[in-house]
Amino acid sequence: MSTPTPLLVFAGSTRAQSFNRKLATVAAELGREAGAAVTHIELADFDVPLYNADLEAKGTPRDVVRLKELFYAHPAWVVVSPEYNGSYTGLMKNTIDWVSSPIKGDPAWSSGTKPFAGKVVGVLSASPGALGGLRSLSHLAPLLMNLQCWVSPKQFALSKAGEAFTPEGQLVAEAARENVRGVVEQVLWAARRFGT
């Protein structure tokens, strides 16, 4: 029996009724169905200030180190990105900026790309609009690739997200669920092939 692939799932939103957080929950569930060892985190649970190099010089926040450890420990990720003004959220960028910043004098985290390099990442988005947040993914993928991530060719943007979920948080359309499953399964397949 092969060891389950560790899969990290998170959304770039902390809004209580976020469609993207709901979509991340669906992705985590499908990851478990596919046999992955899923860690589904909420960025609201981490005390991460707005990035500032002067603040960082006083010491990297403990929750940033926790995020570095989580990112590094998982070879496969599914990142769910809301779309604000045609791009990813400030929360997403701030998280990535902190996690990719080297910790001077710390042998474990002296490389900014260490938490990212070689990770296989699937990207999803949800939006009330017709494009489903697709533009945020077109910006997020190059950012992740710049940090040496492998971004899955399959991606999915859930349009008309206000109508897409049941009151229990499940996707109404089976086709949408299958699209999310396709991204999750491709990420897990690639992570196993790469041996990351």
Q: Could you give the CA distance from residue 76 to residue 165 in angstroms, rounded to a whole number? A: 25
Evaluate whether the domain defined by 6-194 bears CATH number 1.20.1250.20. no
Query: Exposed, middle or buried, 99 (CB in 10 Å: 0-12/13-18/19+)?
Result: buried
- Residues facing 40 on adjacent strands: 9
What mean pLDDT is predicted for residues 153-180? 97
Q: What is the pLDDT of residue 2?
A: 78
Q: Render pLDDT for 99-122 as a digit per residue (tens, 0 to 9).
A: 999 999 999 999 999 999 999 999
Domain ranges of the chain: 6-194
Q: Render pLDDT for 124-153 as a digit per residue (tens, 0 to 9).
A: 999 999 999 999 999 999 999 999 999 999
What mean pLDDT is predicted for residues 157-181? 97
- Please say whether the beta carbons of 6 and 74 come within 8 A: yes
